[in-house]
Structure 1
């Protein structure tokens, strides 16, 4: 698949000039800030200081007053409360947040996590049945519930009140719950729509503290869990999420929660050095592994426990499941890539193997789609049903292609870039033909182009340690506030690059004679040695600060190398 480096539209220069009025602001930094919507000096101050005082009043959220009142009533009457969480990091961290917060003040609580494969997504009827059997009078859903109309109505039918805490898009109607907390509601005027499910739950607890004059300091201690849910759920790292992430990572670095400490140990990560942008590929996969391979109850129990011995055992089990998930991921992907190679002339890839594990098919489909540049469906046989995941490429709407193929599907759902589906085995061949034909029709037979968004094209001579230092202070990074990515064209090496461990290139680069020569590292790009030795080349890179024996130097972290078109 052809890759294109797409430079983002040039920042409004009037806004850039406004920011440059502030002393010691490099032009590169002003450009980056304006691209990210930071257009005035007051906005810049808020951007660089995402502190707890910047949190919004929770009662700006629709139904917050009703939710807090119902929760208060439950506690006053000694009612049993069930926290119903989704099976991913966002949901399990939200459940742990509520368990830790209420354990100190109210003990008539319980939690429930559905089985991904037997109960599916959202609030399940089995979960409502569990609530009834354990004499719960109130269910609070966390990171789910906004589409669970049937289960919520069944809950109310059983005289169990329901509060929804969710952040997903709504359907045509709002569930008939006592309160529905979701900033995505069209009638909700909450100023930030991008909270995670755990973030919405956090606002609920903040509102509870505020209503009753409770010192919120103990709640802040649990931001270590909220940053997990926020960073691993790919919500925008902007506005209030920057506050949650900025403060949450501080608490995560010093957290004494047994489950979190145990996770750092099995991951062999230094707790005091963890960064927000690390969480998605360290904590995310291992916490999600339970739901993919076994049951997410394990993850919720680990994050909720206050017992060190139990935490150690659960973390080791979670690590075992994650290793198993990695094995499935590797073997299933290898087999899928071979199958895809045999069918690469098709307009789309529909890959099926009865032995593949359902829990890793989203990853398998993503990797095949990326390598071959085609929309991909990866399927397996589970409980006498063909089921799996679909992934798009570039700007292709895979949900639209599935909709056109719906006559051969039993179920499907998702969005433009990713979806899940199930069908009868006897319909697999007909679905494949229809899906491939629809993809060909929607693309007019054209090949896909992968666009990689780049912040700025810059001259290496304009880079310095001060700019790199300020960029580090633009963290926390994440979705919609990514670590800045730059292009430099017509670059050359100062001396012959060193090849490290037969994989990496270490070199010094510059553009014009007399310019500074900057250290650069290109990980896993030793195969580009001939390109950089031939003459001029272009680089796609991020700025790093290399520290050795107390000395800090600028270093380019090169992501891609391309021969210059000069």
Structure 2
């Protein structure tokens, strides 16, 4: 790993913020690294509030979207709420349909089949709308590139309101309204909302016409926080407020579906990390292994007993998903080793029988081993479908755009995308992708980077300091959990490998003066035991954590790397 210590903020700024907040210089420095320079900015950061949310009507087309939906409600039109099959899409559909059902009974939901229809708006979905008398489709977490699908719907007299957060193409669909902060002509102050976040802004705007404020909509924030965590969007600005307040709802009064998931895993207080690794995979498992409708049904269920039944079903899908992605990852790693392709700048693998629902997870797992922009292909009908994942700092979406001649369709973000190609184009595409990445990637990005907030001493790690750090949460892109480095540490003599396979490292460290001792745990660092043995001095990169054991709570260091 590359260790990079972030630049220290200007000492004048540190001193000014330290004085304004009455905090230690280290805390002021950590805040400045996160762009927080004033007392007011710090107050917003530490005390997220619904008052921090922007006026939804600042979003381009919001007024048009609200007018069209209000008209549909007033005249009793049938409204279809359409969304993608992943967490962001299914939570968006659950949010929008739940809200609309408080205003009209003429609401139904539609999630496309991952295997039959693929990502985004589908012709099949529009045909379903026509056959069942829907005259308005509200599309969430998809649609901004669905030019031909929206044109097809227009011919059938079906209107579209699109709520998306993906990058639009050069041309926009001819929808009634397109809510997307990433539109070039959209002046909305915050650009990083997820799809469910855009959906929340729409219900905020609709509710305002009923004399309601965002505080009347807190029951929907558990869905928004789940989508923010799952979609790996920055937890800054408006997202920070939505995620923080949504976590409060998850931990105090979640909807029955989320409560049932939490009950399945017997977890008490959830952090955003728990949402990402416990709640989100289970919601996702429905669309990966069976159908996204199962997730929407769970998330909209109001009866706790039924929700419990649905959560048990989804737990089964998730167990199946785990087994499937583990098996495919092994096969993909074998393929890479056999073909000796690990020397390039990319990882591209394909097998026609791989389960389409887990190839994105497999791509992420391959990056853990080879740390290259990665694509995992499988057969999908008469085409090949792939999930793309990238390494930190490299825009895989732009790389795919440069290979557009070989691609049927694609969409996504900087770090994650999906695409389909004709099978006969596979080798040409693979070569083109390798060429583009090799010419455009900064070669240092091919070694994982540990970004260190500050170099500190063990004596800086105090209960008071940790209490302040905890208030930096929720953590995520744009506000990662602070990482520290301390040099010249020594093992007190009890360092050892732990865990079933002895692949984790447990060590008690001390400083040269031996004035402080702290227990450290390094998951996956068992192979570094020799670096600390015989009291050899070493440096460590870590985050600060709490260890709960026998009703005792103590500080511990969670090691990221040692040298």
**TM more than 0.5:** yes
Distance 1:85 1:437 in 2: 35
**Conserved in 1, the CA contact under 8 Å of 2:167 and 2:413?**
no
CA deviations 1:177-232 (Å, max 9, x no partner) are 22222222222222211111111111111112222213655421121111111221
2:529 is the counterpart of 1:533: no
Distance 2:452 2:102 in 1: 47
**Conserved in 2, the CA contact under 8 Å of 1:465 and 1:545?**
no
- Could you say which residue in structure 2 is the equivalent of 1:292? 288
Q: CA deviation at 1:37?
A: 0.3
Q: 2:378 aligns with which of 377, 380, 386?
A: 380
Q: 1:311 aligns with which of 307, 310, 333?
A: 307
Distance 1:403 1:139 in 2: 29
1:259–1:142 CA distance, 2 compared to 1 (3 A): same
Q: 1:199 aligns with which of 180, 193, 197?
A: 197
Q: CA deviation at 1:354?
A: 2.7
2:508 is the counterpart of 1:508: yes
**Conserved in 2, the CA contact under 8 Å of 1:62 and 1:189?**
yes
CA deviations 1:57-101 (Å, max 9, x no partner) are 222222222222222222211222111111111111111112222
**Conserved in 1, the CA contact under 8 Å of 2:147 and 2:174?**
yes
Structure 1 range deviating more: 385-394 or 220-229: 385-394
Task: Give 1:411-426 correspondences, 5 Å limit.
Answer: 411-414=409-412, 417-426=415-424
Task: Give 1:96-115 correspondences, 5 Å limit.
Answer: 96-115=94-113
1:530–1:245 CA distance, 2 compared to 1 (3 A): same
- Could you say which residue in structure 1 is the equivalent of 2:273? 277
Q: CA deviation at 1:311?
A: 2.1
Q: CA deviation at 1:391?
A: 3.6
Q: CA deviation at 1:379?
A: 2.4
* SS state at 2:448 partner: strand
**Conserved in 2, the CA contact under 8 Å of 1:389 and 1:421?**
yes
* SS state at 1:90 partner: helix
**Conserved in 1, the CA contact under 8 Å of 2:384 and 2:422?**
yes
Distance 1:63 1:412 in 2: 25
Q: TM-score, normalised by structure 2?
A: 0.91
Distance 2:356 2:451 in 1: 32
Q: CA deviation at 1:416?
A: 5.2
Which runs of 5 or more residues in structure 1 are unaligned? none
Distance 1:313 1:292 in 2: 19
* SS state at 1:204 partner: helix
2:248 is the counterpart of 1:236: no
* SS state at 2:160 partner: strand
* SS state at 1:21 partner: helix
Q: CA deviation at 1:479?
A: 1.4
* SS state at 1:518 partner: strand
- Could you say which residue in structure 1 is the equivalent of 2:557? 556
Distance 2:112 2:431 in 1: 35
Distance 1:241 1:215 in 2: 18
Q: CA deviation at 1:404?
A: 6.2
Q: CA deviation at 1:30?
A: 0.8
**Conserved in 2, the CA contact under 8 Å of 1:83 and 1:140?**
yes
**Conserved in 2, the CA contact under 8 Å of 1:503 and 1:526?**
yes
2:123 is the counterpart of 1:122: no
* SS state at 1:56 partner: coil
- Could you say which residue in structure 2 is the equivalent of 1:80? 78
* SS state at 1:221 partner: helix
2:326 is the counterpart of 1:325: no
* SS state at 2:65 partner: helix
1:355–1:48 CA distance, 2 compared to 1 (3 A): same
1:426–1:133 CA distance, 2 compared to 1 (3 A): closer
CA RMSD of aligned residues (A): 2.6
Q: 2:387 aligns with which of 386, 389, 397?
A: 389
- Could you say which residue in structure 1 is the equivalent of 2:369? 371
**Conserved in 2, the CA contact under 8 Å of 1:4 and 1:450?**
yes
Q: 2:146 aligns with which of 137, 145, 148?
A: 148
Q: CA deviation at 1:495?
A: 3.2
Distance 1:391 1:191 in 2: 28
**Conserved in 2, the CA contact under 8 Å of 1:18 and 1:41?**
no
* SS state at 1:245 partner: helix
Structure 1 range deviating more: 387-396 or 102-111: 387-396
* SS state at 1:249 partner: helix
1:18–1:514 CA distance, 2 compared to 1 (3 A): same
Q: CA deviation at 1:236?
A: 0.9
Q: CA deviation at 1:505?
A: 3.3
Distance 1:446 1:460 in 2: 30
The aligned length equals: 558
Distance 2:233 2:114 in 1: 22
Task: Give 1:452-531 correspondences, 5 Å limit.
Answer: 452-501=450-499, 502-531=502-531
1:22–1:398 CA distance, 2 compared to 1 (3 A): closer
* SS state at 1:378 partner: strand
* SS state at 2:167 partner: coil
1:387–1:182 CA distance, 2 compared to 1 (3 A): closer
